[in-house]
Amino acid sequence: MNDSLTLTQALTDFHFLRPLWLLALLPALFFVRRLWQLDAQGTAWHKVIDQTLLPYLLNSTKNSSQRLPLYLLMVVWTLSVLALAGPTWSKQTQPVQQRQDALVIVLDLTLGMFANDFEPNRITIARRKIMDILDARTEGQTALIVYGGEAHMVTPLTDDSISIRAMVPALNPNIMPVIGNNPGHAVEMARALMDEAAAVNGRILLITAGIPEEQNNEIWDTLNDGRYPLNIIGIGSAQGAPIPAANGDFLRDSNGEMVVSTLNRANLVTLSEQVGGQYRDISIDSSDIEAILADSLLADADNYLEADEEVELWYDAGPWLLILLVPLCALCFRRGWILQLAIISGALLLAAPPQPAWAQQTNTPIPLSDDGMTDEMMMNQVPVSGLPGIAIVQEPQTGFDIRSLWLNRDQRGVRAMQNDDPVTASTLFENTAWRGAANYRSGNYAGAIAEFSLGEDLDSHFNLGNALAFAERFEESIAAYQSVLDMQPDHADALKNKEIVERLLEEQQQQEEEEQQQEQQEQEEQQQQQAEDEEGEQQEQAPEQEEQQEQQEQQESEEQEPTEQQEESENDNANSQQRANTEVEEDQESLEQFLRRIEDDPGELLQRKFQFESRRRMIERRAASQVPR
């Protein structure tokens, strides 16, 4: 607990973590009321003895010790309910634990994966199975390696399954630079990844259409220590299927015979047992995944380590109230107390009406990012054509709210956001980031900008860029996104939003230039029309002024010649500048099209990456062979 917490802060932040437990006090109130009614009715003697004789025959004074167990029961009941409600007024920092479970998926990308004994073909089924594996793994780190004649790493060990998902659809044998079947190299690379990451609970999953038997010894030498078991999922059939070729025919060997890819299940079973793993045939359901990953899905406290991140949680002070119940419960051992309390409590519970059931609601804070804002608030959901209009601003709710007795201002703000009332939430939130999000949702972008400007973290800069963009302050928005990229260069949402805002800024500047050119053209037309009107008026003057008019026209013509030359030169400069701007815009548009084309085809990037790695390995082998011995 925070020792520096002041009394004012404690009273301000005081609330109950489970406020619905306070409803259990209602039966206690009924219990007290019922006791008073029973006490007022008196004993059976009051019904048979005259009221005038009662003071002389009965003792009218009650012994306080007779009511003491009932009073203590009420105190115990109240303290128990308050403890269950979870009183709190401060936060505690708690470490975050991360599961140490590493899985390296090794995918076969040999030409045999094109065989269609599974519809539509083996590689498509294998890609779907990898997606299912990523769905089943909610914790731990995962890596992806592919192999043909050589092995290549697609993604290293990471807990970001989204990046792996983005690469899976592009995997097919056509991207492999070297044709062949070398699973031993892939298993060796997987072992190196595990050793480099110091994996505590690591395993290798091989999805393959077959392993040459001469590769068994190499795989056994790599995994013979039993530290990382090798599980195998076989894809294919014993009958096999021909391999389609690019020309519409099927793949043939040097003798012209059709190559049929078959699954040698016996070799895969033997190999998996030798290295401490399991073998399963690929299935259309999740039975193969459940069997292979069964051990990794079992929770083990030894497989969790503290991460660098920490979270702040409200400290539950309810258990401290239970200490007050210890001496009160000790009194229950006195003779007759338990029986007396049980009889009275049972009678009152039988007479009491049933209490309604209440469903507890949880207070979940509003996520502010993508690590930024909520999904509907993300800038990358904005269409390229423009920004949406400002939302209709509602009036905040006023008046007394009964929930203010049990919830602090931030929790009431969360409730308002869940009820689609961001205006009221903006007046309740004390957290600046949440208040900025509420202003953002309500369309008050100026208020959101003011709140997000107070933050110095990455999320605040990102959200500030979104708010500035919707306020059409594009240059400031680009600067905010750039500050995000300075902190985290690979922030995908900031890159996406910055690109959108830059395009909107270009459109805005282009529109302003067009409007300026149109105004300039209108001014020139007005000047020309005015000159023509003056010339017509001069022609309508008296004949005696013709000579004077000719002299004046001659003088005006002499004055207009340099003006026209100047206008022509200005028009030429404007046209040349416009052509230069057009060329710059065309170059920028072609560059954007090129970048979008690369982003939409991760398979091309992987193919180039694999080709570069293959050439580098070939150069290293040549250099090693030329070293004198």
238 versus 247: the higher-pLDDT residue is 238
Angle between helices 474-487 and 492-539 (to 10 degrees): 160
Lowest mean pLDDT among 57-71, 149-163, 249-263: 57-71
Q: b/e map of 105-126 (b: 16 or more CB within 10 Å)?
A: bbbbbbbbbbbebbeebbbbbb
Partnered with residue 624 across adjacent β-strands are none
Task: List the beta bridge partners of residue 35.
Answer: none
Mean pLDDT of the chain: 76
Q: Is the pLDDT of residue 343 over 80?
A: no
Closest CA to 192 of 96, 106, 91: 106
Say if pTM beats, i.e. exceeds, 0.95. Answer: no
Q: Which band of pLDDT confidence, cut at 50, 70 and 90, is reported for residue 142? A: very high
Give me the mean pLDDT over the 357-378 stretch: 35
**Alpha-carbon distance 329 to 77, whole Å?**
11
Beta-sheet pairing, 151-158 with 141-147: antiparallel
CB of 611 closer than 8 Å to CB of 177 = yes
Write the pLDDT tens digit of every residue in 399-428.
Answer: 445 555 567 788 888 888 888 888 888 888
Q: Is the pLDDT of residue 374 over 60?
A: no
Instruction: Please compute the mean of the pLDDT values over residues 150-173 and round it to a whole number.
Output: 91
Residues 6+ apart with CB under 8 A from 296: 101, 103, 137, 140, 201, 203
Look at residue 47 in the predicted model and tell me its pLDDT.
66
Band of residue 368 on the pLDDT scale cut at 50, 70, 90: very low
State the pLDDT confidence band at 360, using cuts at 50, 70 and 90: very low
What digits encode the pLDDT tens for the residues 81-135?
Answer: 899 999 998 888 777 666 678 899 999 999 999 998 888 899 999 999 999 999 8
Percent helix, percent strand, percent coil in the chain, to nearest 5: 60, 10, 30
Mean pLDDT of 155-165: 89
H helices then E strands: how many in the chain? Answer: 23, 12
Nearest to 203 by CA among 99, 305, 100, 101: 101
What average pLDDT does the segment 203-227 reach? Answer: 91
| Beta pairing class for 101-108 and 151-158 | unpaired
User: So what's the pLDDT on residue 278?
Assistant: 92
Spatial distance between the Cα atoms of 51 and 48, rounded to a whole number of angstroms? 9
For 527-571, the three-class secondary structure string (H helix, E strand, C coil) is: HHHHHHHHHHHHHCCCHHHHHHHHHHHHHHHHHHHHHHHHHHHHH
Higher pLDDT, 541 or 210: 210
| Helix residue spans in 444-545 (DSSP H) | 445-452, 458-470, 474-487, 492-539
Q: Which domains does the chain have, with CATH numbers?
A: 7-90+316-351 (no CATH), 98-303 (3.40.50.410), 375-394+405-505 (1.25.40.10)
Per-residue confidence (pLDDT) for residue 52, from 0 to 100: 76
Q: How confident is the model at residue 369, as a pLDDT?
A: 38
pLDDT at 520 exceeding the cut of 50: yes
Find which of 244-253, 282-291, 322-331, 619-628 is predicted with most confidence, using mean pLDDT. Answer: 282-291
